[in-house]
Structure 1
Amino acid sequence: MAARKILVIDDSRVIRNMVRDMLPPGNIEVLEAPDGIKGLEIIQNEHPWMILLDFLLPRMSGYEVYERLQQSRDLSCIPLLLMSGRKEEVTSKIPEPFEEKYFAFIEKPFEQKELLAGIKLSLELAKAKDRMLPVVSIASDVNVAAASVEVDAETLAKIAQLEEKLKSASALDDRLKALERNVATQTKQIGQLVAFIKQKFKG
């Protein structure tokens, strides 16, 4: 199976590398673009499986890229996850709820669990949008739909596994903190007991 191409359009190399590290392992090829013009060029040439798009970009803004995507039936069906550290900039151009526009949004800075949740939602919204659009070619739509279901199911399963690992790690961290509190309480109680015994001996 060909690698699923995920395009990350962000002018920050740190963010692009962070997203790459946070993505679930598997048959994924990460494409990168530092600005909107380069990102749109890659979208048109590579037709990626998913797009992670920063809203504030040099040369061509994320909003302009978003508008270009909406002008194409095929490109508008690519799962889209918008990212921004200034949500008000996004809502000034695209009013909430974002789900009605069939894309997901996460606010920077974000953690892995938030990124995975955003990816999962963007996949679900893209599938919902595809069902809403009129059928152009029955044969091609059946083939595309079958491939999408297979890819989505596998990727969603990996995302679910990662989410479970994150939950387990969080639960373990909570247990360790509780244990530390218990140890601290017992240490304090032992100290008080020792002080009481010493006081008795002095008396």
Structure 2
Amino acid sequence: MRALIFDFDGTILDTETPEFHTWENIYHQWGQILPRELWLSAIGLAPGEATFNPYTHLEVLLGTTVDHAALREHRREVFLTALHAEPIRPGVVDWLELAGKRGLHIGLASSSPRDWVQSHLERLGLRAHFEAIYTSDDVVRAKPHPELYEKTAAHFGLHPRECIAIEDSHHGVLAAKAAGCYCIAVPNPMTATMDLSAADQTVASLAELSLETLLG
């Protein structure tokens, strides 16, 4: 194994739990319930590929339109406040630092837009660890299609089978395995109930798995 390729949302930073809770509270304010299974169906997909849209779904439940701009601004303020209180997920920094010492390439493959990913990596002080970042802006098809992993591996001159992918979601695991990567699933509170059986290993956090042991 010559490279690590990380997913971002839910893997490096748990963006998924606070976003769901933000929307869940919005639905409650309108007297509605946000079905968890609908939300899970969109995790790991690019924004334009998810079939579930909370704005339009809420309107269907209400039987009327809502002010998207006002709702979007309110949601963004509440969500970002919660998100900025989230720590980097356990074990991530240790893995990044050890991988760097071992001379492994470190990449990132995310179905989110580049601006979103890079802004948070910089905010968290992690940007310098990553030699290559590929996002939904760089591919025709995001996860579960393998293109993101294929492009990240190719950036290093490697085949995906020489790379370890770290993922948190069903769609992400499918993308990594379709590319040929060795995949470690590290679910967060939102994705813990997903089918991650296609992964080679599943752990509660990277802090539970030694990179040295894995490489050995």
What TM-score range do you get, normalising by the shorter chain? 0.3 to 0.5
Higher relative contact order (CA 8 A, sep 6+): 2
TM-score (norm 2): 0.32
> Which protein is bigger by CA-based radius of gyration?
1
TM-score (norm 1): 0.34
Q: Going by fraction, where is helix more abundant, 1 or 2? A: 1
